[in-house]
Structure 1
Amino acid sequence: MRNGAIAYDGCSSLASTSSTQQDVDDDKMIAVVLSEEYAKLDGAVGRRLSNLAPVAHVPRINSYFPTLSDSSLDYQRLLQRLNVYGLYEVKVSGDGNCQFRALSDQIYRSPEYHKHVRKEVVKQLKDNRALYESYVPMKFKKYHKKMAKFGEWGDHVTLQAAADKFAAKICLLTSFRDTCFIEIVPQHQAPTREIWLSFWSEVHYNSLYEIQDAPLQHQPRKKHWLF
Protein backbone atom coordinates (compact mmCIF):
# COMPACT_ATOMS: atom_id res chain seq x y z
CA MET A 1 0.00 0.00 0.00
CA ARG A 2 1.08 3.56 -0.54
CA ASN A 3 0.68 4.16 3.15
CA GLY A 4 4.08 2.48 3.45
CA ALA A 5 5.87 4.93 1.22
CA ILE A 6 9.48 5.46 2.19
CA ALA A 7 11.58 8.59 2.16
CA TYR A 8 14.68 8.89 -0.02
CA ASP A 9 17.69 10.99 0.84
CA GLY A 10 18.61 11.86 -2.74
CA CYS A 11 21.93 9.91 -2.70
CA SER A 12 24.09 11.31 0.04
CA SER A 13 27.44 10.38 -1.47
CA LEU A 14 29.19 10.26 -4.83
CA ALA A 15 29.46 6.50 -4.52
CA SER A 16 25.73 6.03 -4.01
CA THR A 17 25.00 8.43 -6.90
CA SER A 18 27.25 6.42 -9.20
CA SER A 19 25.68 3.16 -8.10
CA THR A 20 22.17 4.49 -8.61
CA GLN A 21 23.01 5.82 -12.08
CA GLN A 22 24.53 2.46 -13.02
CA ASP A 23 21.36 0.71 -11.85
CA VAL A 24 19.24 3.03 -13.98
CA ASP A 25 21.49 2.56 -17.02
CA ASP A 26 21.38 -1.22 -16.61
CA ASP A 27 17.60 -1.13 -16.27
CA LYS A 28 17.33 0.97 -19.41
CA MET A 29 19.45 -1.41 -21.46
CA ILE A 30 17.49 -4.47 -20.34
CA ALA A 31 14.15 -2.71 -20.65
CA VAL A 32 14.80 -1.70 -24.26
CA VAL A 33 15.42 -5.34 -25.14
CA LEU A 34 12.32 -6.53 -23.31
CA SER A 35 10.11 -3.83 -24.78
CA GLU A 36 10.71 -5.23 -28.26
CA GLU A 37 9.03 -8.45 -27.16
CA TYR A 38 5.98 -6.83 -25.57
CA ALA A 39 5.28 -3.81 -27.77
CA LYS A 40 2.56 -5.64 -29.74
CA LEU A 41 -0.90 -4.36 -28.87
CA ASP A 42 -2.72 -6.85 -26.64
CA GLY A 43 -6.42 -6.13 -26.36
CA ALA A 44 -7.43 -9.19 -24.32
CA VAL A 45 -8.42 -7.25 -21.21
CA GLY A 46 -9.99 -4.57 -23.34
CA ARG A 47 -12.23 -7.09 -25.08
CA ARG A 48 -13.36 -8.38 -21.70
CA LEU A 49 -14.34 -4.84 -20.65
CA SER A 50 -15.64 -3.74 -24.04
CA ASN A 51 -19.10 -2.98 -22.64
CA LEU A 52 -17.75 -0.31 -20.29
CA ALA A 53 -17.84 3.33 -21.35
CA PRO A 54 -14.58 5.02 -20.34
CA VAL A 55 -14.58 8.34 -18.51
CA ALA A 56 -12.52 11.13 -20.03
CA HIS A 57 -9.22 11.61 -18.23
CA VAL A 58 -8.25 14.92 -16.68
CA PRO A 59 -4.61 15.04 -15.52
CA ARG A 60 -4.25 16.18 -11.92
CA ILE A 61 -1.84 15.88 -9.04
CA ASN A 62 -2.63 14.03 -5.82
CA SER A 63 -4.62 16.34 -3.57
CA TYR A 64 -7.18 14.13 -1.84
CA PHE A 65 -6.54 11.03 0.23
CA PRO A 66 -9.45 8.91 1.53
CA THR A 67 -10.08 8.11 5.16
CA LEU A 68 -9.33 4.61 6.40
CA SER A 69 -13.04 3.77 6.30
CA ASP A 70 -13.49 5.10 2.78
CA SER A 71 -10.36 3.34 1.49
CA SER A 72 -11.58 0.04 2.92
CA LEU A 73 -14.92 0.39 1.12
CA ASP A 74 -13.09 1.38 -2.05
CA TYR A 75 -10.92 -1.72 -1.86
CA GLN A 76 -13.92 -4.02 -1.52
CA ARG A 77 -15.53 -2.30 -4.51
CA LEU A 78 -12.39 -2.84 -6.58
CA LEU A 79 -12.24 -6.54 -5.62
CA GLN A 80 -15.85 -6.98 -6.69
CA ARG A 81 -15.11 -5.44 -10.08
CA LEU A 82 -12.06 -7.67 -10.57
CA ASN A 83 -14.22 -10.69 -9.77
CA VAL A 84 -17.03 -9.64 -12.11
CA TYR A 85 -14.67 -9.21 -15.06
CA GLY A 86 -12.43 -12.21 -14.30
CA LEU A 87 -9.25 -10.16 -13.96
CA TYR A 88 -6.14 -10.82 -11.93
CA GLU A 89 -3.87 -8.27 -10.28
CA VAL A 90 -0.13 -8.69 -10.30
CA LYS A 91 0.55 -6.96 -7.01
CA VAL A 92 3.52 -4.64 -6.88
CA SER A 93 5.34 -3.24 -3.87
CA GLY A 94 3.71 -0.37 -2.00
CA ASP A 95 6.92 1.59 -1.49
CA GLY A 96 5.72 4.80 -3.14
CA ASN A 97 6.77 3.58 -6.59
CA CYS A 98 3.67 1.49 -7.27
CA GLN A 99 2.45 3.43 -10.32
CA PHE A 100 5.83 3.08 -12.00
CA ARG A 101 6.19 -0.56 -10.92
CA ALA A 102 2.76 -1.39 -12.37
CA LEU A 103 3.59 0.42 -15.61
CA SER A 104 6.90 -1.45 -15.77
CA ASP A 105 5.11 -4.79 -15.33
CA GLN A 106 2.76 -4.01 -18.19
CA ILE A 107 5.48 -2.79 -20.56
CA TYR A 108 8.33 -5.15 -19.68
CA ARG A 109 6.52 -7.99 -17.83
CA SER A 110 8.46 -7.14 -14.69
CA PRO A 111 7.94 -4.41 -12.08
CA GLU A 112 11.68 -4.17 -11.52
CA TYR A 113 12.28 -1.60 -14.28
CA HIS A 114 10.34 1.08 -12.43
CA LYS A 115 13.41 3.32 -12.14
CA HIS A 116 13.72 3.39 -15.91
CA VAL A 117 10.00 4.06 -16.34
CA ARG A 118 10.11 6.92 -13.82
CA LYS A 119 13.16 8.40 -15.54
CA GLU A 120 11.44 8.30 -18.94
CA VAL A 121 8.24 9.84 -17.57
CA VAL A 122 10.14 12.66 -15.86
CA LYS A 123 12.07 13.31 -19.08
CA GLN A 124 8.76 13.52 -20.93
CA LEU A 125 7.54 16.09 -18.42
CA LYS A 126 10.73 18.17 -18.63
CA ASP A 127 10.97 18.08 -22.43
CA ASN A 128 7.30 18.92 -22.99
CA ARG A 129 6.53 21.41 -20.27
CA ALA A 130 3.77 23.15 -22.24
CA LEU A 131 1.72 19.93 -22.36
CA TYR A 132 1.55 19.47 -18.59
CA GLU A 133 2.30 22.73 -16.79
CA SER A 134 -1.30 23.92 -16.66
CA TYR A 135 -2.29 20.83 -14.64
CA VAL A 136 0.30 21.43 -11.91
CA PRO A 137 -0.55 24.02 -9.22
CA MET A 138 3.08 24.65 -8.28
CA LYS A 139 6.34 25.65 -9.92
CA PHE A 140 6.73 23.10 -12.71
CA LYS A 141 10.46 22.63 -12.13
CA LYS A 142 9.76 21.83 -8.49
CA TYR A 143 7.11 19.34 -9.58
CA HIS A 144 9.23 17.34 -12.00
CA LYS A 145 12.18 17.34 -9.61
CA LYS A 146 9.88 15.94 -6.93
CA MET A 147 8.61 13.27 -9.33
CA ALA A 148 12.17 12.20 -10.10
CA LYS A 149 12.69 11.03 -6.51
CA PHE A 150 12.48 7.38 -5.51
CA GLY A 151 9.30 6.75 -3.54
CA GLU A 152 7.42 9.80 -4.81
CA TRP A 153 3.84 8.81 -5.63
CA GLY A 154 2.81 9.01 -9.26
CA ASP A 155 -0.38 10.92 -10.10
CA HIS A 156 -2.68 11.43 -13.06
CA VAL A 157 -0.26 13.89 -14.65
CA THR A 158 2.50 11.26 -14.69
CA LEU A 159 0.00 8.78 -16.16
CA GLN A 160 -0.67 11.19 -19.02
CA ALA A 161 3.06 11.67 -19.51
CA ALA A 162 3.53 7.88 -19.55
CA ALA A 163 0.79 7.48 -22.15
CA ASP A 164 2.51 10.11 -24.30
CA LYS A 165 6.02 8.73 -23.79
CA PHE A 166 5.24 5.07 -24.44
CA ALA A 167 2.53 5.67 -27.08
CA ALA A 168 0.16 3.69 -24.88
CA LYS A 169 -3.52 3.77 -24.11
CA ILE A 170 -3.56 3.42 -20.32
CA CYS A 171 -6.76 1.95 -18.94
CA LEU A 172 -7.61 2.08 -15.25
CA LEU A 173 -10.11 -0.20 -13.57
CA THR A 174 -10.83 1.95 -10.53
CA SER A 175 -12.38 1.71 -7.09
CA PHE A 176 -14.26 4.99 -7.54
CA ARG A 177 -17.94 4.60 -6.75
CA ASP A 178 -19.15 6.47 -9.84
CA THR A 179 -16.24 5.82 -12.19
CA CYS A 180 -15.35 2.22 -12.98
CA PHE A 181 -13.13 2.75 -16.00
CA ILE A 182 -10.80 5.63 -16.94
CA GLU A 183 -8.96 5.76 -20.25
CA ILE A 184 -5.80 7.83 -20.84
CA VAL A 185 -4.72 8.20 -24.46
CA PRO A 186 -1.62 9.80 -26.01
CA GLN A 187 -2.22 13.42 -26.90
CA HIS A 188 -0.49 13.59 -30.28
CA GLN A 189 -0.16 10.05 -31.63
CA ALA A 190 -2.11 6.85 -32.02
CA PRO A 191 -1.46 4.26 -29.29
CA THR A 192 0.63 1.24 -30.21
CA ARG A 193 -0.14 -0.76 -27.04
CA GLU A 194 -2.61 -1.02 -24.22
CA ILE A 195 -1.63 -0.84 -20.55
CA TRP A 196 -4.11 -2.09 -17.96
CA LEU A 197 -3.86 -1.08 -14.33
CA SER A 198 -6.07 -1.41 -11.29
CA PHE A 199 -6.37 1.73 -9.22
CA TRP A 200 -7.33 1.57 -5.58
CA SER A 201 -8.15 5.25 -5.55
CA GLU A 202 -5.36 7.42 -4.17
CA VAL A 203 -3.85 4.40 -2.40
CA HIS A 204 -2.25 1.90 -4.79
CA TYR A 205 -1.79 0.74 -8.39
CA ASN A 206 -1.38 -2.85 -9.60
CA SER A 207 -0.92 -4.47 -13.01
CA LEU A 208 -3.94 -6.20 -14.59
CA TYR A 209 -4.23 -9.37 -16.67
CA GLU A 210 -6.84 -11.85 -17.66
CA ILE A 211 -6.34 -14.79 -15.31
CA GLN A 212 -5.16 -17.15 -18.06
CA ASP A 213 -2.64 -14.56 -19.28
CA ALA A 214 -1.13 -13.69 -15.89
CA PRO A 215 2.61 -14.41 -15.56
CA LEU A 216 3.05 -17.98 -14.34
CA GLN A 217 4.76 -17.02 -11.12
CA HIS A 218 1.81 -14.81 -10.24
CA GLN A 219 -1.14 -17.00 -11.19
CA PRO A 220 -3.39 -17.86 -8.25
CA ARG A 221 -3.57 -21.54 -7.38
CA LYS A 222 -7.31 -21.38 -6.86
CA LYS A 223 -10.02 -19.34 -8.48
CA HIS A 224 -12.63 -19.81 -5.79
CA TRP A 225 -12.87 -16.04 -5.34
CA LEU A 226 -14.59 -15.83 -8.73
CA PHE A 227 -17.62 -17.70 -7.46
Structure 2
Amino acid sequence: MTENNSNASVSSSSSLNSSIPDTEDDHTIASILAEGNSQGRLGKRLSHLDSVPHTPRVNSEIPDVNDATLDHERLSIRLATYGLEELHMEGDGNCQFRALADQLFRSPDYHKHARKQIVKQLKHHRKLYEGYVPMKYRSYVKKMKKLGEWGDHVTLQAAADRFGAKICVLTSFRDTCYIEIFPKDMTPTREIWLSFWSEVHYNSLYANGDVPTKVARKRFWFF
Protein backbone atom coordinates (compact mmCIF):
# COMPACT_ATOMS: atom_id res chain seq x y z
CA MET A 1 0.00 0.00 0.00
CA THR A 2 3.03 2.27 0.04
CA GLU A 3 2.37 5.24 -2.19
CA ASN A 4 4.45 6.58 -5.04
CA ASN A 5 4.86 10.33 -5.15
CA SER A 6 5.52 10.38 -8.90
CA ASN A 7 3.09 12.54 -10.81
CA ALA A 8 3.61 10.27 -13.80
CA SER A 9 1.76 7.49 -11.98
CA VAL A 10 -1.47 9.49 -11.78
CA SER A 11 -3.97 8.20 -14.30
CA SER A 12 -5.78 10.68 -16.48
CA SER A 13 -8.96 8.74 -15.75
CA SER A 14 -8.80 10.06 -12.19
CA SER A 15 -8.90 13.70 -13.22
CA LEU A 16 -11.84 15.90 -12.32
CA ASN A 17 -14.31 16.38 -15.15
CA SER A 18 -13.25 19.52 -17.00
CA SER A 19 -16.87 20.53 -17.49
CA ILE A 20 -17.12 21.49 -13.82
CA PRO A 21 -15.80 25.00 -13.19
CA ASP A 22 -13.18 25.83 -10.57
CA THR A 23 -15.69 27.98 -8.70
CA GLU A 24 -18.18 25.17 -8.19
CA ASP A 25 -20.01 25.01 -4.89
CA ASP A 26 -18.89 21.89 -3.02
CA HIS A 27 -22.12 21.81 -1.04
CA THR A 28 -24.10 21.67 -4.28
CA ILE A 29 -21.96 18.83 -5.59
CA ALA A 30 -22.29 16.96 -2.31
CA SER A 31 -26.07 17.21 -2.32
CA ILE A 32 -26.22 15.91 -5.89
CA LEU A 33 -23.74 13.06 -5.49
CA ALA A 34 -24.78 11.88 -2.02
CA GLU A 35 -27.10 8.89 -2.24
CA GLY A 36 -28.09 8.19 1.34
CA ASN A 37 -25.57 9.05 4.04
CA SER A 38 -25.09 6.26 6.58
CA GLN A 39 -22.10 7.94 8.20
CA GLY A 40 -24.12 9.37 11.08
CA ARG A 41 -24.45 5.87 12.49
CA LEU A 42 -20.73 5.37 12.75
CA GLY A 43 -20.34 7.86 15.58
CA LYS A 44 -22.43 5.70 17.88
CA ARG A 45 -20.02 2.79 17.44
CA LEU A 46 -17.06 4.80 18.71
CA SER A 47 -18.85 7.12 21.13
CA HIS A 48 -17.26 5.44 24.15
CA LEU A 49 -13.72 6.05 22.90
CA ASP A 50 -11.72 9.03 24.06
CA SER A 51 -10.47 10.95 21.09
CA VAL A 52 -6.98 12.40 21.12
CA PRO A 53 -6.75 16.20 20.84
CA HIS A 54 -5.70 16.97 17.31
CA THR A 55 -2.60 19.01 16.57
CA PRO A 56 -2.03 19.62 12.85
CA ARG A 57 1.35 18.34 11.71
CA VAL A 58 3.18 17.42 8.55
CA ASN A 59 4.01 13.79 7.80
CA SER A 60 6.53 12.11 10.04
CA GLU A 61 8.97 9.36 9.16
CA ILE A 62 7.48 6.35 7.40
CA PRO A 63 7.90 3.17 9.52
CA ASP A 64 9.88 0.18 8.34
CA VAL A 65 8.17 -2.86 6.85
CA ASN A 66 7.94 -4.82 10.13
CA ASP A 67 6.40 -1.95 12.07
CA ALA A 68 4.02 -1.14 9.21
CA THR A 69 2.86 -4.78 9.10
CA LEU A 70 2.12 -4.79 12.82
CA ASP A 71 0.27 -1.50 12.48
CA HIS A 72 -1.86 -2.89 9.66
CA GLU A 73 -2.81 -5.91 11.79
CA ARG A 74 -3.76 -3.59 14.65
CA LEU A 75 -5.96 -1.49 12.37
CA SER A 76 -7.66 -4.60 10.95
CA ILE A 77 -8.52 -5.76 14.47
CA ARG A 78 -9.98 -2.36 15.34
CA LEU A 79 -12.08 -2.30 12.19
CA ALA A 80 -13.49 -5.74 13.01
CA THR A 81 -14.11 -4.79 16.64
CA TYR A 82 -16.21 -1.75 15.73
CA GLY A 83 -17.97 -3.26 12.73
CA LEU A 84 -16.36 -1.01 10.16
CA GLU A 85 -15.21 -1.59 6.59
CA GLU A 86 -12.84 0.31 4.34
CA LEU A 87 -13.42 1.41 0.80
CA HIS A 88 -9.84 1.10 -0.43
CA MET A 89 -8.26 4.05 -2.16
CA GLU A 90 -5.57 3.88 -4.82
CA GLY A 91 -2.02 4.14 -3.48
CA ASP A 92 -0.91 6.87 -5.85
CA GLY A 93 -0.06 9.63 -3.40
CA ASN A 94 -3.60 11.03 -3.49
CA CYS A 95 -5.21 8.61 -1.04
CA GLN A 96 -6.13 11.21 1.61
CA PHE A 97 -7.80 13.40 -1.00
CA ARG A 98 -9.48 10.39 -2.62
CA ALA A 99 -10.88 9.30 0.75
CA LEU A 100 -12.11 12.82 1.50
CA ALA A 101 -13.72 13.05 -1.94
CA ASP A 102 -15.45 9.71 -1.42
CA GLN A 103 -16.91 10.87 1.88
CA LEU A 104 -17.88 14.33 0.60
CA PHE A 105 -18.96 13.63 -2.97
CA ARG A 106 -19.47 9.85 -3.02
CA SER A 107 -16.68 9.44 -5.54
CA PRO A 108 -12.90 9.16 -5.01
CA ASP A 109 -12.53 10.44 -8.58
CA TYR A 110 -13.18 13.96 -7.32
CA HIS A 111 -9.88 13.99 -5.44
CA LYS A 112 -8.54 16.81 -7.63
CA HIS A 113 -11.41 19.04 -6.59
CA ALA A 114 -10.94 18.12 -2.92
CA ARG A 115 -7.23 18.95 -3.15
CA LYS A 116 -7.95 22.23 -4.94
CA GLN A 117 -10.39 23.37 -2.26
CA ILE A 118 -8.01 22.41 0.56
CA VAL A 119 -5.13 24.27 -1.09
CA LYS A 120 -7.37 27.33 -1.41
CA GLN A 121 -8.06 27.11 2.31
CA LEU A 122 -4.35 26.88 3.08
CA LYS A 123 -3.54 29.78 0.77
CA HIS A 124 -6.24 32.19 1.95
CA HIS A 125 -6.01 31.43 5.68
CA ARG A 126 -2.27 31.26 6.16
CA LYS A 127 -2.31 32.40 9.79
CA LEU A 128 -4.33 29.35 10.80
CA TYR A 129 -1.77 26.83 9.57
CA GLU A 130 1.71 28.25 9.06
CA GLY A 131 2.70 27.68 12.69
CA TYR A 132 2.40 23.93 12.11
CA VAL A 133 4.53 23.84 8.96
CA PRO A 134 8.33 23.47 9.54
CA MET A 135 9.29 24.92 6.16
CA LYS A 136 8.59 28.01 4.06
CA TYR A 137 4.83 28.21 3.96
CA ARG A 138 4.60 29.18 0.30
CA SER A 139 6.74 26.19 -0.61
CA TYR A 140 4.47 23.94 1.44
CA VAL A 141 1.31 25.22 -0.28
CA LYS A 142 2.97 24.92 -3.69
CA LYS A 143 3.95 21.34 -2.87
CA MET A 144 0.40 20.45 -1.79
CA LYS A 145 -0.97 21.66 -5.13
CA LYS A 146 0.81 18.82 -6.92
CA LEU A 147 -1.00 15.61 -7.73
CA GLY A 148 0.58 12.69 -5.93
CA GLU A 149 1.75 14.80 -2.97
CA TRP A 150 0.75 13.09 0.28
CA GLY A 151 -1.79 14.81 2.48
CA ASP A 152 -0.98 15.25 6.17
CA HIS A 153 -2.69 16.35 9.38
CA VAL A 154 -2.42 20.00 8.35
CA THR A 155 -4.41 19.30 5.19
CA LEU A 156 -6.94 17.36 7.28
CA GLN A 157 -7.47 20.40 9.48
CA ALA A 158 -7.79 22.58 6.39
CA ALA A 159 -10.34 20.11 4.98
CA ALA A 160 -12.37 20.26 8.19
CA ASP A 161 -12.34 24.06 8.00
CA ARG A 162 -13.06 24.29 4.28
CA PHE A 163 -15.96 21.83 4.24
CA GLY A 164 -17.36 22.53 7.72
CA ALA A 165 -16.85 18.89 8.65
CA LYS A 166 -15.92 16.89 11.70
CA ILE A 167 -13.28 14.42 10.50
CA CYS A 168 -13.14 11.16 12.45
CA VAL A 169 -10.02 9.05 11.97
CA LEU A 170 -9.58 5.47 13.16
CA THR A 171 -5.84 4.89 13.24
CA SER A 172 -3.37 2.03 13.46
CA PHE A 173 -1.27 3.79 16.09
CA ARG A 174 -0.61 1.88 19.28
CA ASP A 175 -1.47 4.74 21.63
CA THR A 176 -3.85 6.71 19.42
CA CYS A 177 -6.86 4.72 18.31
CA TYR A 178 -9.22 7.53 17.41
CA ILE A 179 -8.78 11.17 16.40
CA GLU A 180 -11.47 13.81 15.95
CA ILE A 181 -10.72 16.93 13.92
CA PHE A 182 -13.17 19.82 14.28
CA PRO A 183 -13.49 22.88 12.05
CA LYS A 184 -12.28 26.07 13.71
CA ASP A 185 -14.87 28.61 14.83
CA MET A 186 -17.89 26.79 13.40
CA THR A 187 -20.24 23.94 14.18
CA PRO A 188 -19.66 20.99 11.82
CA THR A 189 -22.50 20.25 9.43
CA ARG A 190 -21.31 16.80 8.37
CA GLU A 191 -19.01 13.96 9.41
CA ILE A 192 -16.17 12.41 7.44
CA TRP A 193 -14.88 8.96 8.42
CA LEU A 194 -11.39 7.82 7.50
CA SER A 195 -8.95 5.08 8.43
CA PHE A 196 -5.24 5.85 8.66
CA TRP A 197 -2.58 3.20 8.45
CA SER A 198 0.92 3.72 9.75
CA GLU A 199 1.66 7.17 8.25
CA VAL A 200 1.23 5.48 4.87
CA HIS A 201 -2.35 5.27 3.66
CA TYR A 202 -5.90 6.61 4.09
CA ASN A 203 -9.13 4.81 3.24
CA SER A 204 -12.80 5.79 3.44
CA LEU A 205 -14.79 4.17 6.27
CA TYR A 206 -18.30 2.72 6.29
CA ALA A 207 -20.38 0.50 8.54
CA ASN A 208 -20.19 -3.20 7.66
CA GLY A 209 -22.35 -3.87 4.63
CA ASP A 210 -22.58 -0.20 3.61
CA VAL A 211 -19.46 0.02 1.46
CA PRO A 212 -20.66 1.32 -1.92
CA THR A 213 -20.07 -0.53 -5.14
CA LYS A 214 -17.77 1.41 -7.39
CA VAL A 215 -19.59 2.79 -10.39
CA ALA A 216 -18.59 4.98 -13.30
CA ARG A 217 -18.54 8.64 -12.41
CA LYS A 218 -21.55 10.60 -13.64
CA ARG A 219 -21.29 13.93 -15.40
CA PHE A 220 -22.95 16.93 -13.82
CA TRP A 221 -23.46 20.28 -15.46
CA PHE A 222 -23.74 23.51 -13.52
CA PHE A 223 -25.23 26.70 -14.89
Q: TM-score, normalised by structure 2?
A: 0.86
Which residue in the other structure is 2:18 paired with?
A: 23
C-alpha separation in 2, matches of 1:119 and 1:129: 15
Taking only the aligned residue pairs, the percentage that are identical comes to 57
C-alpha separation in 2, matches of 1:22 and 1:54: 37
Which residue in the other structure is 1:94 paired with?
A: 91
Pairing 1:66–2:63 present: yes
Which runs of no fewer than 5 residues in structure 2 stay unpaired?
A: 216-223
Deviations 1:18-42 (A, max 9, x none): xx78638468759654401449794
**Structure 1 residues 196, 28: closer, same or farther in 2, change over 3 A?**
farther
Pairing 1:5–2:4 present: yes
Partner residue of 1:55 out of 46, 49, 52: 52
Alpha-carbon contact 1:167-1:191 (below 8 Å) kept: yes
CA RMSD of aligned residues (A): 2.5
List, as ranges, runs of 4+ consecutive aligned residues in structure 1 with deviation greater than 2 Å. 20-34, 37-42
Q: TM-score, normalised by structure 1?
A: 0.84
Alpha-carbon contact 1:96-1:152 (below 8 Å) kept: yes
Letter in 2 for 1:7: S
Deviations 1:44-98 (A, max 9, x none): 1111111111110000001221111100000000000000011010001000000
Alpha-carbon contact 1:40-1:192 (below 8 Å) kept: no
C-alpha separation in 1, matches of 2:199 and 2:18: 29
Aligned length: 208
Note the C-alpha offset of 1:6.
Answer: 3.7
C-alpha separation in 1, matches of 2:184 and 2:27: 23
Alpha-carbon contact 2:54-2:179 (below 8 Å) kept: yes
Which runs of no fewer than 5 residues in structure 1 stay unpaired?
A: 10-15, 219-227
C-alpha separation in 2, matches of 1:186 and 1:172: 14
Note the C-alpha offset of 1:113.
Answer: 0.1
Residue aligned with 1:89, SS = strand
* Structure 1 segment 1-227 matched on structure 2, within 5 A: 1=1, 3-8=2-7, 23=18, 25=20, 33-37=28-32, 38=34, 42-217=39-214
Which residue in the other structure is 1:12 paired with?
A: none
Residue aligned with 2:195, SS = strand
